[in-house]
């Protein structure tokens, strides 16, 4: 009688498949990557891949679901604290950057291959992504209500923050001049500076100022 795999072993193998698939999706593109290629890179057979995940489309869905779940779970834990809104938002930004770099292939695949998802799978991911976005909007609105943040369009502020932190994996280099901690702390300070500074300015000015400063972190 064949032995059944333990849930822990099954989850570990599924994670291996997702991690390798993310790496290949980023390198070759979703459509150009076959299940055979994923299996070969893991020294597995194609049927073995299907034992853990039923299709390539489902691999992409689970990759998105896993990555967004990491972001959401960590942000939810921060929101449960008694910290003031500016401290919460700073921690959320740092957590996002740290997670994005730690799971670099998964996040890059999520950004590049979002539109390869179709049907109900795509709808589920969009809903989960919107939940994450609302977490940022919630803490920004709380900061505005308490007089900690300047009045601004909450949706645009959230898009602006998530937009530039999402692309850290595109330019981050482990052997670069700055450590990951230096980068995450600096970017959090830059993002919060636009919300905390009471000098009248448009959101567009804040965005451009932050993007130029962030570019300086890389090029200096």
Is 172 a domain residue? yes
Is 170 a domain residue? yes
pTM score, whole prediction: 0.80
Q: Which residues constitute the domain of residue 130? A: 57-219
Is 34 a domain residue? no
Is 97 a domain residue? yes
Is 27 a domain residue? no
Is 127 a domain residue? yes
Is 32 a domain residue? no
Domain count across the chain: 1
CA 90 and chain centroid, separation:
16
Is 10 a domain residue? no
Residue-wise pLDDT tens for the chain (220 aa)?
Answer: 445 567 778 888 888 998 899 889 888 888 899 999 999 999 999 999 999 999 999 999 998 898 899 999 999 999 999 999 999 999 999 999 988 887 766 666 666 677 788 899 999 999 999 999 999 999 999 999 999 999 999 999 999 899 888 888 777 777 888 888 888 888 888 888 888 865 544 444 444 444 444 444 444 4
CATH of the domain at 70: 1.10.357.10
């Amino acid at each position: 009688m064949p032995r059944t795999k333990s849930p822990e072993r099954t989850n570990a193998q599924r994670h291996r498949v997702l991690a390798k698939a993310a790496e290949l999706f980023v390198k070759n593109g979703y459509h150009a990557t076959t299940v055979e290629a994923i299996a070969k890179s893991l020294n597995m057979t194609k049927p073995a891949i299907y034992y853990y995940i039923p299709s390539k489309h489902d691999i992409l869905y689970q990759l998105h679901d896993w990555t967004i779940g990491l972001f959401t779970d960590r942000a939810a834990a921060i929101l449960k604290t008694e910290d003031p809104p500016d401290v919460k938002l700073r921690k959320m930004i740092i957590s996002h950057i740290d997670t994005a770099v730690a799971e670099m292939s998964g996040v890059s695949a999520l950004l590049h291959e979002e539109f390869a998802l179709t049907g109900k799978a795509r709808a589920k991911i969009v809903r989960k992504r919107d939940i994450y976005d609302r977490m940022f909007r919630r803490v920004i609105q709380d900061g505005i209500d308490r007089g900690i943040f300047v009045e601004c369009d909450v949706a645009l502020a959230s898009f602006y923050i998530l937009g530039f932190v999402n692309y850290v994996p595109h330019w981050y280099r482990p052997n670069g001049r700055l450590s990951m901690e230096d980068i995450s702390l600096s970017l959090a300070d830059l993002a919060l500076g636009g919300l905390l500074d009471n000098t009248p300015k448009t959101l567009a000015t804040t965005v451009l100022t932050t993007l130029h400063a962030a570019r300086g972190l890389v090029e200096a």
